[in-house]
Every structure is written in structure tokens, then in C-alpha cells.
Structure 1
Amino acid sequence: MEQAKQKLVVTIEEARCKGCGYCKEVCPKGVFEFEGKLNAAGYSISNPKHTELCIGCNSCVMACPDLALTLNEAE
């Protein structure tokens, strides 16, 4: 029997993101992009552009040194 694909929501707290790129480096599915959007401190922030590809491995959350990422199931 095939399981329904779980929908996940990746959220970035923009004020905490310093644009280190670790989330993009560790993501096995290429969820993250940097598109030049800046936060209030002037850092280029990560954008979870392809959340439909997320497999919920939490690699991005664990790699973020600023605790700027959360990963939750969609309601």
C-alpha cells in the first residue's frame, strides 16, 4: 500500500538568519535557494523555495547555527 506523502512546512525566522548557507549545503533535496532577499540586519537570507521536495530529514534544522529554521507538518 502506498502512503500519502506528508506535507511539511519549512519556516525561516528571517531576523535570525545570517545567510551562512548551511541549510542549502546539507539539504539532500535542494529545498533552499538564496535570491538576494535581505533581512533587517542586511544579511542575505535563505528561502525554502521548493518545500514540496522536503523529506523531513531535519538536516537543515540541525545545521543552522542561529536556530532560524523550524520544520513542521502542515495542518
Structure 2
Amino acid sequence: MTMEEAKKKFKITIVEERCKGCGYCKETCPKDVFEFEGTLNAAGYVVSSPKHLDRCIGCNSCVMVCPDLALSLSEEA
């Protein structure tokens, strides 16, 4: 990893109403970014939350594995 890559910051957006709390994002993330803290959406599912964004390396694994297209990832300026 270069110094430039190490300085990149990422934003993960979760559409809470789409999240079914399957945990695939948490299981797939190589940097353990996600937590489940008990926040429920309207359907009663516990919603995933990107609690440790400082760890995110922008690998996009969470976005690719989400079966409900509830996640998006972008690089912050």
C-alpha cells in the first residue's frame, strides 16, 4: 500500500429500509468496519452500521456481497 492509498477516506452509505441484517457485509469486510447495534428499520430488521470507517480501505467487498443493494461506497475528497 502506498502512502497515497493510506490517506484515502471512504464513505459507506446504507439505505436502512433495504437492509435485512444478513451480516454479509460484516462477514466479508477484511477490516471489520461494520457493527450491528440494534437499530431497527421499519421492517424490524437490525440494520448494519459502518462504525469504523477509519479502517475502510475501499475494497468494495461489502457493496458487491449485499443481496439487497443496500450499500454504496464512495471516496471522500
TM-score (norm 2): 0.92
In 1, Cα distance between the equivalents of 2:43 and 2:69?
A: 16
In 2, Cα distance between the equivalents of 1:55 and 1:2?
A: 13
Runs of 5+ in structure 2 lacking a partner?
none
1:30 is the counterpart of 2:53: no
In 2, Cα distance between the equivalents of 1:7 and 1:47?
A: 17
In 1, Cα distance between the equivalents of 2:76 and 2:19?
A: 22
Match for 2:9: what amino acid? K
> CA shift at 1:2, angstroms?
3.1
SS in 2 for 1:24: helix
In 2, Cα distance between the equivalents of 1:2 and 1:31?
A: 21
In structure 1, the residue matched to 2:58 is 56
TM-score (norm 1): 0.94
1:41 is the counterpart of 2:29: no
In 2, Cα distance between the equivalents of 1:29 and 1:17?
A: 20
In structure 1, the residue matched to 2:72 is 70
